[in-house]
Structure 1
């Protein structure tokens, strides 16, 4: 259990944490007097947490006779970043056949592990889409990083086929599927569907409905030739990128030149997909004219029977020369998707009363890794507009913004005493970005959410300065109280999202034969706040009971195991232990958990 500390020590610790935060709050509250400009929230992460959801029922033998689904999933994995993204896999029939919890990609070996898992999937006789969707949503709920972009990519023919012996009905399945989709929608999990239609029996509408309700997109195909476009579109749509068609060539048996232009220094990765039904060879030359080995430290190569993917990490700006050699008369399609470290933010609006006829200055800037980008050529290569939505009428006006310097700027006129939502969209040939939305309330004469005090020297009427000065201290006091509450909430949240250290060594022992699985070393650093044992066991359906055992981090590099179910026997060092109220584990502690629903015992050792 968590150890209690003396009240004085607790108070002292809290004050040590809160005082610097309150000082920061005071600086923020008085910033208008020092003409400090405020900007939008800190940049969000560009990493993806994806669950690949695949129908492995026998019907897929005809609707996906060429195993397009497997190729699609592998290509999606190869397109993800070399490090940082997380991928889980759920294979279903009318039950979850196999499952892999979200795995953080830290190396090429991690990607290969996922692709090997895909190759090992088996078929089953029946289909129930609701079962698979429910589990995919749970995987994201249990393991998604709040800073990442979550998504579900589903590959199926959209049809159910129930086992009549179970009495399962279409109505029951539809109800459960609707609930799972609603949960995905509430949690911000867009569902992208790829309908597989080799036998012409695709239920296109059902898959389109799943995507439409969650902000995803629906695709369909009966050939692997469509995969680059589909996967690139999903990947690009999710990260606000654009597909750049490079070239289609007919191979002649010799090396043929293709130019790949890296437009600026903000490109994190360039994904070059090469689709061909026959083997291809490739050479690469960087913009300085130097030949680069494929693969090498900054050039990754992934190959399958239908595609090759070359990934350039932090590539040099300029024209790269790609040379492709294929089998004569073979058609080769080449596409490019960049991944950028760029975020678009609007400057906060001035804090003054808005009314019909007012003009508001708009400024928006690009940021890379939290630092403002000042490369004027990057701005000049983009087209930016202010999207002003009148929330009373629902009409949206596009107002072009000037891009001649290192800022997108323009003005917005309040045409009616209505509420408005403002955001900036900037785009060029390979990506687009949208800012957060700021609101303007011109009904009551008050600035909308996101507004801050006007900077000094803005020409405010002197007659307005005296009342503002009188109420300034009241405003500061109110802000301090509100932000102090925010600081307290932040401290509680920090505790709730505390990270783990060390690893758990896990073995599963069969109660009938006494045999143990090979030890698995599960690093805990990927988890925040809490996780359950079922996640460490790769969400194996037969071991579902283990989800009642939850781990949380505590001080001194220890972890706390708590059981929420009766009947699960927990032992530490061979002695029965009570985990219902919390069992604290230090490095070197060994525990065993005996499940009731199956004759299995989970053996664990905690190491730091």
Structure 2
């Protein structure tokens, strides 16, 4: 019998048993407090160049999607920036009132900015640096299509960018505040944005088209606030008795593509057929549907071929995973903390944990894949928390760490992402110089040529001045040897007379 065909009554008995056992053992074990809640701070570029980088203003729908996906209880704020910085969504706890204000603010995203003042934007978003609430885990997401541009002076812009990387970024990294950067144009200063992300243990993304922006935004949210999903097999996913609400997100390749949702009882839902407890939101890039108090059983999500889909859930039974560092050096071993939690706290009873199987699936560059059988490799922990060792990654690149939970009629997945930074290999012995990227050579080469031209000009000027001084000295010596231009010829001397043979003197 497949997991989609098993009776759902078991999970009801399990939840009841879980509650009874936890009640009975409450006096024996203190409950583990909830981990830090996410704190997301979004910085969105509204400079005039966005007219070309984002002609359809897809930043607006992408922000609206993030607003709808942010979990209640998180904190979030939104700033827009050009030459100046404005806060368009207050930095507050996410609730219904905050969402309403945030959705109204989407209309303020335009292309009215004159410059790209990234340092001022970062300063505004980290206004409380040094006094942040430790019960929240803060992250900054920076979207821009340009580079640091706060002045007409290239020297001032370069100085500001250098100061940000040398001082601000290390301070943010030391405080544990990653800055995830998104470049929305080939004109963006990718070298600077990547360095900013690396210095703060953040991730750098490049959206080669505005259409890719929504998916990158969602992945940024997953890094800040990992959310459990239910796996989709074909186009079917299972909703169990513990799920209070689920949200299906479908990324579309063509605008206007049809998406429908069919319940286990056969009811069909679509954007045109509204129903109580079913909320749809659509754009040209995606379709989002949230179902509250859903029917238990196998649901069907019909979407166009090639569409990418995911279903996240809000459930009484939570799969919790300690977040990995956003970036790691190659060769470093890391560790995952994995727990199951219900309304009473972390589940630690062995007889309950043995009802589930845990696994970790790691995928990465060049087809890398590794599976860790957590339930088979690790004994049931007395605290209820598995400490899973993740092997060191030797190759640089982006890795996905997918934590998988399976029960009798329950399935969960929780994705994490990590960027592995590999040091460049030492070059083999060779007489050929190492190749340097063109962008790394261009600026030093221009500077060197300018210095050489300046040195040649100075040398030529010094040479001309010395030559003039020597000519003046020679002229004075010559004039002195002549005794002056008006002196008479010395008497008693004459030119040689050719007839005298050169030996006679004048009379």
Larger-gyration structure (1/2): 2
In 1, Cα distance between equivalents of 2:297 and 2:129: 38
Partner residue, 1:87: 76
1:192 to 177, 180, 183: 180
Structure 1 residue 224, shift from structure 2 partner? 4.3
Aligned pairs for 1:307-326 within 5 A = 307-313=286-292, 315=294, 318-324=297-303
Partner residue, 2:118: 129
Q: 1:368 to 1:62 in 2, by over 3 A?
A: same
Aligned pairs for 1:129-278 within 5 A = 129-138=118-127, 146-164=134-152, 168-176=156-164, 178-197=166-185, 200-241=186-227, 246=232, 258-262=235-239, 265=242, 269-278=246-255
Partner residue, 2:284: 305
Question: What 5-or-longer segments of structure 1 have no aligned partner?
Answer: 1-35, 248-256, 346-362, 386-397, 411-421, 435-608
Q: Give secondary structure in 1 for the equivalent of 2:223.
A: helix
Q: Are residue 118 (structure 1) and residue 106 (structure 2) matched? A: yes
Aligned pairs for 1:36-55 within 5 A = 41-45=32-36, 47-55=37-45
Structure 1 residue 423, shift from structure 2 partner? 5.5
In 2, Cα distance between equivalents of 1:101 and 1:239: 19
CA contact (8 A) 1:384 1:402 kept: no
In 1, Cα distance between equivalents of 2:47 and 2:301: 41
CA contact (8 A) 1:232 1:337 kept: no
Q: 1:80 to 1:141 in 2, by over 3 A?
A: farther
Partner residue, 1:407: 380
CA contact (8 A) 2:141 2:181 kept: yes
Partner residue, 1:68: 58
2:256 to 261, 279, 287: 279
CA contact (8 A) 1:236 1:243 kept: no
Q: 1:298 to 1:155 in 2, by over 3 A?
A: same
TM-score, scaled relative to structure 2: 0.55
Q: Please identify which structure carries the higher strand content.
A: 1
In 1, Cα distance between equivalents of 2:257 and 2:113: 36
Aligned pairs for 1:262-411 within 5 A = 262=239, 265=242, 269-289=246-266, 298-313=277-292, 315=294, 318-324=297-303, 332-338=307-313, 341-343=318-320, 366-373=340-347, 380-383=356-359, 401-402=374-375, 407=380
In 2, Cα distance between equivalents of 1:141 and 1:303: 40
Aligned residues: 343
Structure 1 residue 291, shift from structure 2 partner? 5.3
CA contact (8 A) 1:69 1:155 kept: no
Structure 1 residue 206, shift from structure 2 partner? 2.0
Question: What 5-or-longer segments of structure 2 have no aligned partner?
Answer: 1-26, 323-336, 362-370, 391-401, 406-411, 417-507
Q: 1:115 to 1:310 in 2, by over 3 A?
A: same
In 2, Cα distance between equivalents of 1:321 and 1:305: 22
In 1, Cα distance between equivalents of 2:108 and 2:268: 38
Q: 1:243 to 1:344 in 2, by over 3 A?
A: closer
CA contact (8 A) 1:274 1:333 kept: yes
CA contact (8 A) 2:145 2:187 kept: yes
In 1, Cα distance between equivalents of 2:78 and 2:414: 29
In 1, Cα distance between equivalents of 2:224 and 2:158: 32
Aligned pairs for 1:513-592 within 5 A = none
1:310-342 deviations in whole A, cap 9, x for unaligned? 123465554212345x7xxx9644333446633
CA contact (8 A) 1:195 1:202 kept: yes
In 1, Cα distance between equivalents of 2:164 and 2:134: 26
In 1, Cα distance between equivalents of 2:281 and 2:379: 38
In 1, Cα distance between equivalents of 2:319 and 2:355: 12
TM-score, scaled relative to structure 1: 0.47
In 2, Cα distance between equivalents of 1:402 and 1:121: 48
In 1, Cα distance between equivalents of 2:134 and 2:275: 33
In 2, Cα distance between equivalents of 1:43 and 1:147: 9
CA contact (8 A) 2:319 2:339 kept: no
Aligned pairs for 1:461-540 within 5 A = none
CA contact (8 A) 2:404 2:413 kept: yes
Structure 1 residue 146, shift from structure 2 partner? 3.9
CA contact (8 A) 1:42 1:370 kept: no
1:57 to 47, 58, 64: 47
Structure 1 residue 191, shift from structure 2 partner? 1.9
CA contact (8 A) 2:250 2:307 kept: no
Q: 1:379 to 1:146 in 2, by over 3 A?
A: farther
Q: 1:344 to 1:131 in 2, by over 3 A?
A: closer
Structure 1 residue 228, shift from structure 2 partner? 4.9
